[in-house]
Amino acid sequence: MIDRRQFTRLAAALAVGFVAAPSLAADPVRVAFIDPLSGPFAAVGASGLKQFQFIANEINKSGGVLGGRKIEVIGFDNKISPKESLIQLKRVIGDGIQVIVQGNSSGVANALTDAVAKHNEREPSKRVLYLNYSAVDPSLTNEKCNYWHFRFDANADMKMNALTDVINTDKKMKSIYIIGQDYSFGKAVAAAAVRDLGLKRPDIKIAGNELHPIGKVKDFSPYIAKIKASGAQAVITGNWGADMLGLAKAANDAGLEIPFYTYYAAANGITKAIGAGGVDKVRLVGEGATNPPLTAEWRDVLKRFRAKYPDDRDFTQTRIANTLQMLALAINKAKSTEPAKVAAALEGMRYTTYWGDVVTMRASDHQLQMPVRIFVHTNKNIEFDIDHSGYGLLTESTVSAHVASTPTTCKMQRP
Amino acid sequence: MSAIAPTSPRTGGTFLRRNAIWWVALLFVLLLPQVARSGTSIAVLNQMCIMVIFSLSYNMLLGQGGMLSFGHAVYFGLGGYFTIHLMKMASGGFFMPLPLVPLAGGLAGLLFGLLFGSFSTNRAGTVFAMISLGIGEMIAASSLIFVKFSGGEEGITADRTDLTSLFGIRFRSEVDVYYLIAAWMVLSAWLMYRFSRTPVGRMANAVRDNPERAEFVGYSQKHVRLLSFMGAGFFAGIAGGLFAVNYEIVTEETVNLVSSGTVLLQSYIGGVGFFAGPIVGAIVYTLLQTLLSNYTEIWAFYVGLIFVATVMYAPTGLTGIIMMHLPIYRAGKLRSLALPYLRIGVPALCCTIGVIGLLELLHFLSVRAVGQSTKRLFWLTLNVEQPFAWIIFSVLAVGGFLVARRVAPSVLAAWEAASLHAFGGRAR
Amino acid sequence: MLELIVFSLLNGLVYGLLLFMLSSGLTLIFSMMGVLNFAHASLYMLGAYLAYTISLKIGFWPGLIIAPLLVGVVGALIERYGLRNVHRYGHVAELIFTFGVAFLIEESVQLVWGRQNVDYREPEILSFPLFTLWGTDFPAYKAFMLAISVAIFIALLLVLTRSRVGLIIQAAITHPNQVAMLGHNVPLVFTGVFGVGSALAGLAGVIAGPALGTFPGMAAVLGSIVFVVIVVGGLGSLAGAFVASLLIGMLQTFAVAVDYSLEDLFAAVGITTSKTSALIDLYTVTVAQIGPILPYLLLVLILIFRPTGLLGKREV
């Protein structure tokens, strides 16, 4: 409802012809969030933006950066398309924003990192920094690495390394089925699984190595029938979104009661769909422990998030906290928002996460070195459940940062 | 088929005068960056020019040839892929100036047009439409499978500055690329316009309207269609090539069905019955797509509304509306329409504001955080928990619609009177 | 191997019959009005979401009846107040209109139900394995889906061939003007057929939602496969749609099970392929991977060699 004061203000604004009011506080440090905010993948993007804005608010409450400037995260809808992302990147650059964050789809990430590198080389006065919080195609910090790209999520190789360590402990495991989406990330997962299993457990047979079209499979029952027929004792999958949901549903329906080792089998309705059928069978690799939260501070943060968004209350992408906090630290350390200086400050930076892990930004490839955890889907000892379902992710084991680390082939070109 | 370009083949005059409008257009697009300077507007302009070529090429099929295609992006995308491969190869060192590489896309479009057209242009109508759908889906799915050629979902990237520089221009900045794209756009548009005036172009219209008669005159309808199809493929390929030059990446989304749908929609919104229709459509659609999503998260809803409204209330497209007023303007009667248009414009605007307000409030309710009860909209801060804003917007929406519907007949009568006058009292 | 074949058959049957429910309405709409209704899949999605809400409030079974009826009403309204006005502007206009409507429905669904997946479940009474073969369950719910689909097929066939309304519809498909001259209200028949077709799409959504997931992309996942079914089956032919649905259901299901590629074929006859060839993708891609292309390949081949479709009487 418009109260009288607002009405006067509106009238005044009209009278002076919509002259923009000069901002009184110091200009905020703007961060462009380029991810899907509409269309079928909007759920993941929108909740990511919420989490970024929440963390920005946490930073601002404790004083902001550079002595009082606030961090402002602005959403730019890329409709999960590389082309739209590039258009938005150009807008971001045109608006004078110096930091972009992006995470959904390695395809978009590949396009962005390439475009950012070319732009920074061609127009050094308008450089931008690219913080990747979730696109885990290993090539981004290997053959396609560049100075302006920093990754705050463990890449597919690191995650597979941790998953196969867990598989390795099961001495009765004899055969495994790999299924994934037919694109760069799905292929990276499959390649990593074959390589790591070959090194650690050459006795385990790869019963099947299947790629299915991404986002186009209506019914996963035929794939489940195939897995069943292969006699595999476990499944490894990098599926996410609707493809993970469909796979989980079909497995439940067919009564396929074997362990699933996954990257993204939680949240956005997936945890709820897996439900009782996946207890102690579905495992997932990730970073931030939520059950138990490990530190009191982290528990408070999670609780504050829940209080703020009671409907969509899961802080699902814990790496977002690290991304923004480390950016704030780097800006303070560089005493500037100039991308080249911030990038220099980020290189080699050590940071202690909300949940107590010590992480380091490796200078040689800009891949965050971090402990990786294996979670199990369950309803026991769950403090922070997901999807209002009573089920959540319980930390089962933690792989320390130096064990989780994988070597890089990156030859970093510094400006 | 009428054209906005008032060039008539019968008028004499010099080459310069006959093509006056094209020179004006060229001058206009070349001067545009002086006005729209920001990086954002250059980026939008680049996208727009590419879409203009793509849509014009589509209209060679739909508007001029009567072929409804659901798979035109195939030629756009393949043109893009061939161009980007050429750019990659050329960065190895052989002589290939960047301004020429879109030709590779055009040739690819032409050849694939010949290949697929050879069996799909036998008939027009639904058979053609469904074959184009099938080919579109096949190529889109294949582009994710045959990774060696298409790079899969990551696509293929290249660096345009690695190519041979011509007169020292290396196309490092966006503006340089804009001039390149704009020049290709004017050239392609001119060529397509000329094509529509050639005997083959005229026969395409004839085949569209009455294939049997065209056969009796001695033209094979299949060959006429195939020629149009290949031409459309060629220019779609050019557009794809320019896409590759501009973005330096070509991915699966350039060939997929969404792209094919987009080109159909924008051509239709612009008006397929006019040469300039697709140009208008491409401009409007690009603006909608790139700008609307910055202001609202439910942009797709508005796009849907706009489609439905266009089809229902402006079936000849935006250009059709303009063309309806051209004779009235020439007769100097446009002023007599001002008042009636104001009478319908105000309630229509009220209705639009009401609908937008309701939708935005509804959307806000579903995404807001706890304790967040106010939303900024139209420079106002509204409280969604109190009924005031809801009531105002509902009244605006419903009231505006009812009033607009009420005055619509009188506005239509005013338009008819004006256009009757414009035609010198003759019945239209 | 046998278990794979048996389960592929069963899964193909379930999927094929689901396709049939979607395409049965569409084939009548298409053949009668010539409208390629791009909003059909959106109506399927709308059915699932409506049924989800109803299942939360009063249970699954009422939803099975009410949700399709609601979708049918929505469809009839779209025809009466939208398509009928647009009809005079030609087929392309109608098509763009359905495009726009598809946008509107999908966005409305996300406005109302949010962008998350919703947890629409089968009723407790049907959530048990009907039988277990070689250790794999066949859920009772899938059998239920089969039963509903077959019942709808039989009912439709009876209505179309035995009832008066059915005869009028059949006549209106081929000779709308003559039917109108005989005094029948052809526009009303159109509205009715559109409504029933939409209701069938809605019903398909209602029963597919619990099995395949109810999420904002469920219409997009379906894609244009329904158009393939109606063209391959033959326009206006219910039996054709039935056969084509099963054919495509089986084709896609069995393709998944086949892991052979051209390379294997060449190897079998003694030809070795070079790993560095530019066509390497062509040799190594497996039948399972090209599964999604097969229906469209079939579509193009059918249109080239038999434009009437499998069981159709007239050309597309």
Using an 8 Å CB-CB cutoff, list chain A residues near B380. Answer: 2, 6, 10
Q: Which of A121, A45, A57, A139 is nearest to A88 (CA)?
A: A45
- Side-chain half-sphere exposure of A30, counting CA atoms within 13 A: 14
Quote ipTM for the complex. 0.83
Using an 8 Å CB-CB cutoff, list chain B residues near C111. Answer: 298, 301, 359, 362-363, 366
Q: What is the mean pLDDT of residues B270-291?
A: 88
Rg (CA), chain A: 22
d(CA A291, CA A281): 17
State residue C116's pLDDT score: 73
Q: Do A26-154+295-370 and A157-286+374-401 show the same overall fold?
A: yes
- Helical (H) or strand (E) element with A8: helix A4-15
State residue B216's pLDDT score: 85
Q: What is the dotted CATH code of the domain comprising A157-286+374-401?
A: 3.40.50.2300
State residue A70's pLDDT score: 92
Using an 8 Å CB-CB cutoff, list chain C residues near B315. Answer: 86, 89, 93
> Is the pLDDT score of C85 beyond 90?
no
Contacts 24+ apart (CB under 8 A), B112-117: B112/B74, B112/B75, B112/B78, B112/B233, B112/B237, B113/B75, B113/B229, B113/B230, B113/B231, B113/B232, B113/B233, B113/B234, B114/B226, B114/B230, B114/B233, B116/B74, B117/B225, B117/B226, B117/B229, B117/B230, B117/B233
Q: What is the mean pLDDT of residues B245-265?
A: 89
Q: Is B206 exposed, middle or buried (0-12, 13-18, 19+ CB in 10 A)?
A: middle
Domain boundaries, chain A: 26-154+295-370, 157-286+374-401
Q: Which of B280, B208, B255 is nearest to B109 (CA)?
A: B255
Distances (CA, A) of B332 to A32, B233, B293, B322: 50, 42, 39, 15
Give how far B26 is from chain C: nearest CA, Å.
32
Of B126, B257, B304, the CB nearest to C107: B304
Query: Which residue intervals of chain C are DSSP H helices?
Result: 2-33, 40-57, 60-78, 84-86, 91-113, 140-162, 164-174, 176-181, 186-212, 218-222, 225-233, 238-257, 262-268, 280-284, 287-290, 294-305
> Is the pLDDT score of B9 beyond 50?
no
Q: Does B315 touch chain C if contact means CB atoms closer than 8 Å?
A: yes
Of B40, B154, B370, the CB nearest to A308: B370
Give every CB contact of residue C165 below 8 A, 6+ residues apart in sequence: C159
Which chains does A contact via 3+ CB–CB distances below 8 A?
B, C
State residue A17's pLDDT score: 37
Low-confidence ranges of chain A (pLDDT < 50): 1-24
Q: What is the mean pLDDT of residues B38-44?
A: 80
Give how far C41 is from chain A: nearest CA, Å.
13
Q: Is B11 exposed, middle or buried (0-12, 13-18, 19+ CB in 10 A)?
A: exposed
Q: Does B148 touch chain C if contact means CB atoms closer than 8 Å?
A: yes
Which chains does B contact via 3+ CB–CB distances below 8 A?
A, C
Q: What is the dihedral of CA B58, B63, B69, B70, to 10 degrees?
A: 70
Q: Which of B269, B75, A242, B261 is nearest to C38 (CA)?
A: B261
d(CA A189, CA A345): 31
Q: Does C34 touch chain A if contact means CB atoms closer than 8 Å?
A: no
Q: At C46, is the pLDDT very low, low, confident or very high (cuts 50, 70, 90)?
A: very high
Do B249 and A307 lie within an 8 Å CB cutoff?
no
Give how far C251 is from chain A: nearest CA, Å.
11
Using an 8 Å CB-CB cutoff, list chain C residues near B310. Answer: 96
Highest mean pLDDT among A379-393, B234-248, C137-151: B234-248
Q: Which of A9, A131, C218 is nearest to B379 (CA)?
A: A9
Highest mean pLDDT among A181-195, B287-301, B409-423, C259-273: A181-195
Of residues B16 and B107, more confidence is placed in B107
Cβ B65 vs Cβ B204: under 8 Å: yes
State residue B372's pLDDT score: 67
Do A43 and C253 lie within an 8 Å CB cutoff?
no
Give how far A397 is from chain B: nearest CA, Å.
33
Do B301 and C103 lie within an 8 Å CB cutoff?
yes
> Is the pLDDT score of C282 beyond 50?
yes
Give how far B56 is from chain A: nearest CA, Å.
21
> Is the pLDDT score of B217 beyond 50?
yes
Of A38, A91, A118, the CB nearest to B159: A118
Give how far B44 is from chain C: nearest CA, Å.
24
> Is the pLDDT score of B8 beyond 60?
no
Q: Using DSSP bridges, classify how beta strands C129-133 and B374-377 pair: parallel, antiparallel or unpaired.
A: unpaired
Q: What is the mean pLDDT of residues C306-311?
A: 78
Q: Which of C107, C112, C216, B369 is nearest to A268 (CA)?
A: C216
How high does pLDDT run on average in chain C? 82
Cβ C242 vs Cβ C155: under 8 Å: no
State residue A303's pLDDT score: 93
Q: At B15, is the pLDDT very low, low, confident or very high (cuts 50, 70, 90)?
A: low
A/B interface, count of CB pairs below 8 Å? 118
Give every CB contact of residue B413 below 8 A, 6+ residues apart in sequence: none
Of residues C184 and A369, more confidence is placed in A369
What 3-state DSSP class applies to A287? coil
Q: What is the mean pLDDT of residues C270-284?
A: 64
Highest mean pLDDT among B71-75, B270-274, C126-130: B71-75
Q: State the CATH class of domain A26-154+295-370.
A: alpha beta
How high does pLDDT run on average in chain B? 83
> Is the pLDDT score of B279 beyond 70?
yes
Using an 8 Å CB-CB cutoff, list chain A residues near B360. Answer: none
> Is the pLDDT score of B137 beyond 50?
yes
- State the CB neighbour count (10 A cutoff) for residue A66: 15
d(CA C164, CA A392): 57
Q: Does C1 touch chain A if contact means CB atoms closer than 8 Å?
A: yes
State residue A177's pLDDT score: 94
d(CA B67, CA B128): 7
Scan residues 195-234 of C and list those with Cβ closer than 8 Å to A: 211-213, 215-218, 220-223
Using an 8 Å CB-CB cutoff, list chain C residues near A225. Answer: 3-4, 7-8, 11, 136, 257
* Structure tokens that stand for A180 in this block: 């994934």
Of B154, B299, B389, the CB nearest to A110: B154
Give me the residues paired with residue A65 across strands: A69
- Side-chain half-sphere exposure of A166, counting CA atoms within 13 A: 26
Planar angle of CA B317, B321, B325, nearest 5 degrees: 160
What is this structure's pTM? 0.86
Do B155 and A110 lie within an 8 Å CB cutoff?
yes
Of C115, C119, C212, the CB nearest to A246: C212
Do A82 and B157 lie within an 8 Å CB cutoff?
no
Of residues C65 and C126, more confidence is placed in C65
